[in-house]
Amino acid sequence: MRIPVRNNWTLEEIHDIYNMPLLELVYQAATIHREYNDTAEVQVCTLLSIKTGGCSEDCAYCPQAARYSTGVNVQALMKKEEVLKYAQKAKDAGSTRFCMGAAWREVRDNRDFDRVLDMVKGVNEMGMEVCCTLGMLTQEQAHKLADAGLYAYNHNLDTSKEYYDEIITTRTYNDRLNTLDNVRKAGVTVCCGGIIGLGETHEDRIKMLHTLSTMPQHPESVPINALVRIEGTPLQDNPKVDIWDMVRMIATARILMPATMVRLSAGRTEMSVAEQAWCFMAGANSIFAGDKLLTTPNPSFDEDNQMFQLLGLKPRVAFKEEKKLEAELV
Ligand code: SAM
Ligand code: DTB
Ligand code: SF4
């Protein structure tokens, strides 16, 4: 019998899980993963930066913050038709979720937002799960996105509340939590995770996982990013993320949030197929596909197809949860 999904994890329990001997941790995570999910299935999401660079925030990792000179060209909001072309290309390549990212601190109620709402409608009509990551949202804006057909909203906590000020000073952890609350209340699914390699301690990672896994409802997806080190940002000289730290983080997230999609996100270009296989074994069941994340490189569709064949993985169909519900009702 499956253990029920819990949201009353204590920091001590999470500490003990995170610090288990690695192979025992992976074994336990793989076992839970098998009980809750089809382990052969991996959700394939494609990202598109619909508005690039020039952001007023000071996130120390980010190539798109205006205050660091990272060589990213500022680009205004793309046209809807162009975005839909990219979405079609992603769909043809086997992607079932399309995520549009904007380098905004927050959404403003203006014509740009109306255009994003149109994009959401268009991608939704193509039969893909639509996701956006646009910065902070009000309750009203979240509802407008929901009405346009938004399926998921990505808004990361990035690290622990305690370490947050070391990485971002232009907004607070509570700002982040408020937006997540607005998204949840609008009935849009939540995609929320973090980054490792920012200089945080293992305890900071444990605390972030505690915040995520004790939310009244777990995020439907949790992206785990390995820092992509960007020249010109304050974190440019940070050491490369150790693959075993990534595996430990994914395995712990899988045990704490067994029914969530755990996404092996940024950092895959620096990982071998063997290393990524460890992440899938530890419970990752989602990736970003396509040769670009927002501004940095990512493995190509072809490389990922080869990896899927080698490891016996298959892309998850769109709207799987809804289809399951419909089938149960008939
Ligand atoms: N501006 C919006 C926001 O901050 O929510 C949306 C876009 S922002 C680029 C989305 C996420 O990308 C961030 O929360 C962060 O977790 C991730 N990210 C940005 N730069 C990264 C990097 N260099 N390495 C890994 N992840 C990164
Ligand atoms: C997430 O957690 N990772 C993605 C997505 N959500 C928006 C973004 C990664 C960005 C990596 C740096 C870049 O390509 O600009
Ligand atoms: Fe702006 Fe988002 Fe980058 Fe922070 S992470 S600088 S809010 S684009």
Whether 179 shows a pLDDT value over 70: the answer reads yes
pLDDT at 188: 98
Spatial separation of the C-alpha atoms in residues 267 and 42, rounded to whole Å: 17
Residues 234-266: pLDDT tens digits? 999 999 999 999 999 999 999 999 999 999 999
Q: Which residues line ligand 3 (CB under 6 A)?
A: 55, 57, 59, 62, 64-65, 103, 105, 135
Question: Average model confidence (pLDDT) for the chain?
Answer: 95
Ligand 1 within 6 A of CB of 223: no
- Residue 263 CA, closest ligand 2 atom number: 2
- Is 185 among the domain residues? yes
- Is 1 among the domain residues? no
Ligand 2 within 6 A of CB of 49: no
| Cα–ligand 3 centroid distance for 159 (angstroms) | 14
- Residue 229 CA, closest ligand 1 atom number: 23
- Is 4 among the domain residues? no
pLDDT at 317: 81
Whether 330 shows a pLDDT value over 70: the answer reads no
Whose alpha carbon is nearest atom 23 of ligand 1? 228
Instruction: Determine phi and psi for 190, rounding to 5 degrees.
Output: -105, 130
Query: In testing the pocket of ligand 3, which one of 47, 51, 55 has its CB within 8 Å of the most ligand atoms?
Result: 55
pLDDT at 5: 95
Whether 1 shows a pLDDT value over 70: the answer reads no
Ligand 2 within 6 A of CB of 295: yes
User: What is the count of structural domains for the chain?
Assistant: 1
Please count the other Cβ atoms lying within 10 Å of the Cβ belonging to residue 326: 10
Mean pLDDT to the nearest integer, 82-93: 94
Whether 316 shows a pLDDT value over 90: the answer reads no
Q: Do 199 and 236 meet the contact criterion of CB atoms below 8 Å apart?
A: no
Q: H helices then E strands: how many in the chain?
A: 12, 10
Residues 21-62: pLDDT tens digits? 999 999 999 999 999 999 999 999 999 999 999 999 999 999
Whether 194 shows a pLDDT value over 90: the answer reads yes
Spatial separation of the C-alpha atoms in residues 151 and 124, rounded to whole Å: 8
Whose alpha carbon is nearest atom 3 of ligand 1? 135
Whether 152 shows a pLDDT value over 80: the answer reads yes
Please count the other Cβ atoms lying within 10 Å of the Cβ belonging to residue 93: 17
- Is 57 among the domain residues? yes
Spatial separation of the C-alpha atoms in residues 219 and 209, rounded to whole Å: 11
| Cα–ligand 2 centroid distance for 293 (angstroms) | 6
Structure-block tokens of residue 101 = 């990212």
| Cα–ligand 2 centroid distance for 294 (angstroms) | 6
Range of the domain at 252: 11-317
Bridge-based pairing state of the strands 189-191 and 152-154? parallel
Ligand 1 within 6 A of CB of 103: yes
Secondary structure element (H or E) that encloses residue 255, with its range: helix 243-256
If pLDDT is split at 50, 70 and 90, which confidence band does 95 have? confident
- Is 328 among the domain residues? no
- Is 196 among the domain residues? yes
- Is 5 among the domain residues? no
Whether 319 shows a pLDDT value over 90: the answer reads no
The DSSP 8-state label assigned to residue 106 in this structure reads B
Mean pLDDT to the nearest integer, 125-152: 97
pLDDT at 3: 80
| Cα–ligand 3 centroid distance for 316 (angstroms) | 29
Q: Do 60 and 171 meet the contact criterion of CB atoms below 8 Å apart?
A: no
Give the active site residues. Answer: 55, 59, 62, 99, 131, 191, 263
Residues 13-31: pLDDT tens digits? 999 999 999 999 999 999 9
CATH number at 298 reads 3.20.20.70
Q: What is the pTM of this model?
A: 0.96
Whether 326 shows a pLDDT value over 90: the answer reads no
- Percentage of the chain modeled with pLDDT above 70: 99
Ligand 1 within 6 A of CB of 135: yes
Mean pLDDT to the nearest integer, 162-189: 97
Query: In testing the pocket of ligand 3, which one of 105, 155, 179, 294 has its CB within 8 Å of the most ligand atoms?
Result: 105
Ligand 2 within 6 A of CB of 228: yes
pLDDT at 303: 95
Nearest Cα neighbor of 116 from 304, 138, 124, 330 is: 124
Spatial separation of the C-alpha atoms in residues 39 and 22, rounded to whole Å: 20
- Is 183 among the domain residues? yes
The DSSP 8-state label assigned to residue 56 in this structure reads S
